[in-house]
Every structure is written in C-alpha cells, then in structure tokens.
Structure 1
Amino acid sequence: MLITTSYDPQAEHLEAAAQLARSIKQLQGIDNPVRLVPRKRHSLARLRTLYDDSDILLVSKERIEYYHEDQSALFFHPSTAAIRVKRLVNGEHDPLMELSAIQPGDRVLDCTAGLGSDALVYSYAVQGNGEVVALESEPIPYLILQQGLMTYDSDIPGMNEAMRRIQVIQMDHSEYLQRQPDNAFDVVYVDPMFRQPIHESSSISAIRTLANSRPVSEQTIKEALRVARRAVIMKEHRSSDEFDRLGFEEVRRSTTKIAYGVIRL
C-alpha cells in the first residue's frame, strides 16, 4: 500500500502522511507493506506503475482518500447522516431512532460501523451525556472512519460534537460482544453487508470490496441479546431471509429497499 499526498503538499500534510503510515502499520489485517512515497508531479496511475502497487491512500488538505485500481475513491463523508441529523434538529422523526426508542444518555453499540452513518445519527440523538461505540473490523474503513470523525467540519448544529463523541474500535463484533458484561448497552445495532446488494448506493459500492462480508451468526445475536438492555436491531434488505434465520419477528420496512428487524427486551 502506498501513502502519498496531493500535489504541492504543505509541511503539515507531509507530517500527516508520515503519521498515517506509522498508524497503519499497527492495525490488524494489513498484509501488504506500507510505503510512504513522494507525490512529485506523478498521477496516481503513474505511482502505481512506479511502485507496482494498486492500493493508494492519499492525504489532502480536506481528507484521506483510498484508491484501489479503477474503483471510486473511498473517503469519509456524513452522507445521508447529515440529512437525518438536520431533520432531528428541526424536530422531525428518524425511523431508526424511533425503533430504538433512543433517549438522551443512552449507550449504543454499532457492531458494523462501516463509514459511520448510523453511528453518527445515534451519537447526535443520545446527546452529550450518551455514548456510542462503533466497531469496524476491517483496517481501511476503520482508519477512514476514525480520521474522518476527528477532522470533518460540519455547519449543522451539534454535528461536530456528535462525530467527536463516537468511540471507534477496530475489532470484530463477535469478539467485542463476548467481552461485555450483561446489559452493557441500551441498544445493540447490526448493519451487515446485505446478502442482496443495493447497487444504486454508490457509497456502499465503494466499501463493499473492503468490508467484512461474513453473515451475522446466531451466536452473535445471542450475545447481543445478553449485552443489550432495551433492543437488538438489524438492518437488511427488505426481502432478506436473514430476519427469519436470526429470529427477528418484528420487521419494519423503512423504504422500498431497507428494513429493520427488532428484538425488544
């Protein structure tokens, strides 16, 4: 994996790239060597040829971007979370927050954070005295989410505070759940990669090749039921068989594509 900068980097961007290289070497699941290389005036395609490596992390003034071959760049952006938080700011409702019966001060565990869209809305909803723990097992999505939540700047009231409050941990959710005491969180949320992809979603398409594609196990749901005080919620394609397989008897169809399974405690 190559780490480089945008053209004509400032000193802080060079230091950020060097720090990023050091951080990546400590992550779990990084198999190929990490090399910090000068950008000069090279295109990304030229860097790939020069160093015989298809994976590039680009550090710019605004953000970190991940490039793999001809796929779209992967980077952190609040995306639909920004729209949902705006609605909450305006006193409107959010289907997931309503299903979760979220209250200020709640503790929420997002078992499959991805790029953090749902974790961000949860964090806004639980407010300053609440807590959201976001788990991401895969190193590149984890890194992009962690860095993005720390540095992204939003003009939506309360959004920056919500991002900074989220605790991001690189760990498989099954291992994390086993380590938790009973009733440790009010809500445990699971949003795995859908068995039936929604190809219209560009953000999901960019992360799909990096995400953990393993289906949620029955043991994971059993542990989630032990750890949750109020509810375990899973998001899936509305026609998915996973709800039945994992024992979600209450299924709420949110859109033409999405549904939430709920087990209330």
Structure 2
Amino acid sequence: MKIAVTTTRESDEILNNKAKVISKDLNIPYIKRENYSIRKTIIEDDFDYLLVVEKDRIVIKNEDSTLFWHPSMAEFKIKSIKQGDNVAIMEATQLEEGDSILDCTLGLAGDALIFSAIVGKSGSVVGTEVNKYIAYLCKCGLENYTDINGESITNIKVINESYEKYLSKQSDNSFDVVYFDPMFKEPNKKSTSINSFRDFARHRGLTREIILEALRVCKKRVVIKERRGFNDLDNLGIGKYYGGKKNGSIIYGVIEKKI
C-alpha cells in the first residue's frame, strides 16, 4: 500500500510542519499540497491513499473513502453503563475498576474507550494494532480526546504490533482479561466507517493456538466479539455467549480461565 502525507489546500506553516513530522514518524513521503483535488493528487503521484492533516484531525483519504478517528458508539454505551443498564460487552468482560485488559484488535479504540471508562484511572487498557497508519490515527485521536466527563484519556496505551507477537512476549497472568474483535467475515455494508477501515484491517481468523496463548496471558477470561450466525466460535471451544439473539446481531463469546 502506497501512502503519503499532505495537508488541506488552505494549509499554513503549522499544518505543513505537522505533516512533515508525521512523514518522519511513519517514514512516508510528504507532498506539498497544491490546489489539486485528492483524486488528482493520488493519480498524478501514484499513491493509494493520502494521509491529510486538517486543522483539528488527521484523515486518511482516497478517491472514494474517508477514514478518521472518532469515538463511534462508545460514548452512548458508556452512558448506558453509568445509568446501570445491562450492556453485553460489560457482562462478557466482567471488568471492574482497577482491572487490566489487553485489547488485541484495537482498531480505532471504540471498545477500548468503554473498557477505559469501566476500569478507571487505577486500571489499564493496552491495545495492539498491527497497521501502523491505524495505530497512529488512533494514538493521535486519543491524545486529543476528552471523555463524557471532559477528562483526558490516560489509561489506554496503543501498541503498533501484531497481537501474536505481543502475546508471546507477555508473562503468565499479565492481564485480567484478553479481548479480540476480529474483522467480521460478513461486513456491515451500511457502515461507511467500517468499510473505509476494511482495507487497513487484517482479515486473519483466530485459531485455537492463539486462544490458548490468550488464556495463558489472562488471569480471568478471554472474550471474543462476533456476529451471531457468522462465526466459528463453537470450533474455538466457546460455549458461553452474551449479546443479541437474532441472526447477525453482535455477540461476545467467553472462555473462563480454569485455575
């Protein structure tokens, strides 16, 4: 994938310098933005995507898609949790204040924000994201985000690494919970944000070997997010589920660690 960094057409010295810093951070070319469209810039310079530095955000664009960091549905779910509602992701993880969780498929940190709110400042969330562009987008987004209470997020750590490699380096019982949200095999075509993300996501499925490694690293349980009727959770030895009952609804499979 060929990608370069540039700015909006109405750039200034601050945006240009920020783009140059990103160019060095990600080791990708910097293109001075002329008065050209994204499409023309991509075609003329033969890139697949442009990482565009805007005034308040960083956006990954190509001819027909736009991807940027945002909290998605996290804020809505956090409000529901604080109101005492039964939210499936909370029922499945059973996280408590002060707990630690490893989010092996961080993406844009939608679920990690929920975990962050539950475990609080005394807890910790570590997220691994194998794609360096998504990891960078997420890290910058979290650094500039304030939660529903107007506070900065300080308990989420973004790691640009595959979960296989990261898990292999962890000692036994390193985290209370290990969590996976693999890219769904049957995409939600109505979600423009997920469809934009799909090109950058790794589509490899989970294996029993990875599950066993996750069980070694966790203290309490492994949780896997999937869609009912479109998953291999039974083949992975998962028998306990939380979430929707209808075909295609979000579910969370749980494997408790046997001590």
**TM-score, normalisation: structure 1:** 0.90
User: In the aligned structure 1, how far is the partner of 2:43 from the partner of 2:130?
Assistant: 30
- Is 1:95 aligned to residue 85 of structure 2? no
SS state of the match for residue 179, structure 2? Answer: strand
User: In the aligned structure 1, how far is the partner of 2:237 from the partner of 2:62?
Assistant: 37
Q: Percent identity?
A: 35
- Contact 1:89-1:157 at 8 Å conserved across structures: no
User: In the aligned structure 2, how far is the partner of 1:7 from the partner of 1:255?
Assistant: 48
SS state of the match for residue 236, structure 1? Answer: strand
- Is 1:56 aligned to residue 58 of structure 2? no
Counterpart residue type for residue 238 of structure 1: R
Question: Could you list the runs of 5+ residues in structure 2 that have no partner in the other structure?
Answer: none
Tell me the CA shift for residue 226 of structure 1.
0.8
- Is 1:253 aligned to residue 243 of structure 2? yes
User: In the aligned structure 2, how far is the partner of 1:168 from the partner of 1:51?
Assistant: 31
User: In the aligned structure 2, how far is the partner of 1:197 from the partner of 1:255?
Assistant: 19
- Is 1:262 aligned to residue 254 of structure 2? yes
Counterpart residue type for residue 51 of structure 1: D
Aligned to 1:29: none
Q: What whole-Å deviation, never above 9, does each CA across 1:196-228 have from its counterpart, x for those lacking one?
A: 222222221111111011111211100111111
User: In the aligned structure 1, how far is the partner of 2:37 from the partner of 2:192?
Assistant: 24
Tell me the CA shift for residue 8 of structure 1.
2.2
1:23 equivalent among 22, 25, 32: 25
Residues 49, 201 of structure 1: alpha-carbon distance in 2 compared, 3 angstrom cutoff: closer
User: In the aligned structure 2, how far is the partner of 1:139 from the partner of 1:111?
Assistant: 14
Aligned to 2:206: 216
Tell me the CA shift for residue 42 of structure 1.
1.6
Equivalent runs, 1:154-169 vs 2, <5 Å: 154=147, 156-157=148-149, 160-161=151-152, 163-169=153-159
Aligned to 1:239: 229
Aligned to 2:68: 75
Q: What whole-Å deviation, never above 9, does each CA across 1:27-65 have from its counterpart, x for those lacking one?
A: xxxxxxx22111132211221233222310000111110
Aligned to 1:228: 218
Tell me the CA shift for residue 258 of structure 1.
1.0
Moved more, 208-217 or 94-103: 94-103
Equivalent runs, 1:89-168 vs 2, <5 Å: 89-154=82-147, 156-157=148-149, 160-161=151-152, 163-168=153-158
- Contact 1:66-1:73 at 8 Å conserved across structures: yes
User: In the aligned structure 2, how far is the partner of 1:235 from the partner of 1:249?
Assistant: 13
User: In the aligned structure 2, how far is the partner of 1:11 from the partner of 1:89?
Assistant: 43
Aligned to 2:171: 181
Question: Could you list the runs of 5+ residues in structure 1 that have no partner in the other structure?
Answer: 26-33
- Contact 2:38-2:63 at 8 Å conserved across structures: no
User: In the aligned structure 2, how far is the partner of 1:231 from the partner of 1:49?
Assistant: 48
SS state of the match for residue 242, structure 2? Answer: strand
- Contact 2:88-2:243 at 8 Å conserved across structures: no
User: In the aligned structure 1, how far is the partner of 2:154 from the partner of 2:52?
Assistant: 22
User: In the aligned structure 2, how far is the partner of 1:200 from the partner of 1:77?
Assistant: 17
SS state of the match for residue 209, structure 1? Answer: helix
- Is 1:9 aligned to residue 3 of structure 2? no
Aligned to 2:188: 198
Tell me the CA shift for residue 153 of structure 1.
4.2
- Contact 1:254-1:260 at 8 Å conserved across structures: no
Q: What whole-Å deviation, never above 9, does each CA across 1:179-202 have from its counterpart, x for those lacking one?
A: 111111011000001122222222
Residues 241, 55 of structure 1: alpha-carbon distance in 2 compared, 3 angstrom cutoff: closer
